[in-house]
Structure 1
């Protein structure tokens, strides 16, 4: 009886495994990077990167093929791309998707809706806004040995360990759909033979409405999340100091009712000064105290300017509205938006420098 049951189980497993779809790099065109630009006549131009492998999936890609097509939407672009491919295209391993700033400034709500509903899309996929055209960034040759898609994937992933906040598809969709919160993505720029993260692009709904340079990204990240690592260059008299973050933490406190809400944002930073350029001072405790005060003034000024810009653009990438929603039963999103521009936010930064003393 046991042998019979085992045989039935074995046959069932064989039938189930036969129904599973297997994606082979030899039989399919595996798209691992896609970029979208503004096309003519309100259409979208999509470019897809397909690595070319050897006889085994375990081997490294030896080259890359780029296919470009125009369509009224991303699904039509995918259909037109398929017409150019001798193999069935597969987007299940798509690791990076880019949108030109021009396209995103015109609104990409329809594209975001498809991203959220397509079960083939990995929630770990990275997204980015290109300051320029996505096709130029994808089709360019770079000096690194990695393939283009791998270089872009590692670029975003690595910088999220330092100054830039994490922005994969899961994080983006959460911010996009949550009440009282707006999304953001890294801004990517091609400079000569290299590509770099040059800032952040902020959304209002599905439209990019503002950007900040990379020099302000650390300040945004310290307001938005707890993190370690990252560096910030701070002006000091006729020189500069480089602050190396050991650990930064942030706390929000909502005061008063929703009629006249007030936020206190407290940031605590522990850091080392690993370089001081043009500082004609002997390293001593009094200098360290002065550097802490200069750092506090720098961060508080930048933070207040960022928050003022958010209020002027009517965007909430810090999720203050979402924070209020979780703590006030009578939260009303419409009233919150109406009063957001008058929201009082007090930012208090504390900087503790634990080590210093490198001059140049």
Structure 2
């Protein structure tokens, strides 16, 4: 008899749970993108975009509602935004968080602490730094068939499959909290009718200390990680070549004592030249060899300039300190940071042109 009662109670609970009220997307203000700027009197200015869904079956967003508030902290922004919304604010689907460069240059440590502690936020969310106003970028609107958050999420995600390294919240937090490694984020810039990824912003903890233009990101990504795809235009004999990455591999090695280490970074790049403009020569093995030598010279120079910048700004986006920590006992972070600007780093590129595409 007890078994029958237990079964009846379990069935009742299941049916009752199925009857519980479930709020639809129309009944919530779903924030998918938020941007932060420096507000008045050194406060934080937060701007969100909330899709406004129609009543048709496809539930496509036809427009967006923009709300902007000034608050004492990023956490208070959500509270102040709620005061302007007739529906409960939901940030569980937040896909993109943006910070103005002005704010990032003041430091994002408090913001990062909030991001790392909030269980509602996905670690796959993208972060970015806006060269200009985050509010203006969010409110501009770019396409008729997708929201601003979807557009920017797709922009960042698509470029990480090519020249840009991954810059999700997970990647940022990992580098932020790791010893001997510093984070970086994509730089976004609003043009007249579109947004472009204009470079990378490098941080010392939460403080923006350096940036590089998009022309140098292909080289940085080869130094940072193995990858395929990606394209880079290169000068050659008064013209321009378009190099496509078929596959690149990077290998770090460390020699010498801990107080005087020497790094060797070897990058092997297999590439295809699929466009040649302004170079009046036929594709031959001799030309390929000349190209390879020029490419090695070019990338070695670019890499040396990047590493010199990192040492000058005392920022370690390549994670050389973290690499050392995993291979040397008694690693002292303070000593490492003191000696970082004098670190001996030898970069060696090996470029092989595997295929020729169509020359123009």
Q: TM-score range by the shorter chain?
A: over 0.9
**Structure-1 residue corresponding to 2:170:** 170
Deviation at 1:9, TM superposition (A): 3.6
Deviation at 1:5, TM superposition (A): 4.5
Q: Secondary structure at the match of 1:62?
A: strand
Q: Secondary structure at the match of 1:167?
A: coil
How far, CA to CA, are the matches of 2:149 and 2:227 in structure 1?
27
How far, CA to CA, are the matches of 1:201 and 1:92 in structure 2?
26
**Structure-1 residue corresponding to 2:233:** 233
Is the 8 Å Cα contact of residues 163 and 218 (structure 1) preserved in structure 2? yes
Cα 1:233–1:144 change in 2 (3 A) is farther
**Structure-1 residue corresponding to 2:211:** 211
**Structure-1 residue corresponding to 2:301:** 301
**Structure-2 residue corresponding to 1:131:** 131
Deviation at 1:56, TM superposition (A): 6.8
**Structure-2 residue corresponding to 1:339:** 339
Is the 8 Å Cα contact of residues 241 and 275 (structure 2) preserved in structure 1? yes
Q: Secondary structure at the match of 2:83?
A: helix
Is the 8 Å Cα contact of residues 68 and 81 (structure 1) preserved in structure 2? yes
Q: Secondary structure at the match of 1:80?
A: helix
Q: Secondary structure at the match of 2:175?
A: helix
**Structure-1 residue corresponding to 2:11:** 10
Deviation at 1:45, TM superposition (A): 0.5
Runs (5+) with no aligned partner, structure 1: none
Q: Secondary structure at the match of 1:106?
A: coil
Is the 8 Å Cα contact of residues 272 and 357 (structure 2) preserved in structure 1? no
Is the 8 Å Cα contact of residues 143 and 193 (structure 1) preserved in structure 2? no
How far, CA to CA, are the matches of 2:29 and 2:282 in structure 1?
62
Cα 1:174–1:357 change in 2 (3 A) is closer
1:79-118 pair list within 5 angstroms: 79-118=79-118
**Structure-1 residue corresponding to 2:290:** 290
Aligned-residue Cα RMSD (Å) equals 1.8
1:13-162 pair list within 5 angstroms: 13=14, 22=22, 24-55=24-55, 59-143=59-143, 145-162=145-162
Runs (5+) with no aligned partner, structure 2: none
Deviation at 1:275, TM superposition (A): 0.4
- Per mean C-alpha deviation after superposition, the further-off stretch among 4-13 and 243-252 is 4-13
Is the 8 Å Cα contact of residues 44 and 74 (structure 1) preserved in structure 2? yes
TM-score (norm 1): 0.96
Structure 1 segments of 4 or more deviating over 3 A? 1-19, 55-58
- Per mean C-alpha deviation after superposition, the further-off stretch among 94-103 and 8-17 is 8-17
How far, CA to CA, are the matches of 1:114 and 1:23 in structure 2?
26
List per-residue Cα deviations over 1:171-221 (Å, max 9, x = no partner): 110011111000000000111101110100000111111110000000100
Cα 1:245–1:102 change in 2 (3 A) is same
Is the 8 Å Cα contact of residues 279 and 359 (structure 1) preserved in structure 2? no
List per-residue Cα deviations over 1:264-301 (Å, max 9, x = no partner): 10101111000011111121000000001111111110
Q: Secondary structure at the match of 1:322?
A: helix
Deviation at 1:2, TM superposition (A): 5.8
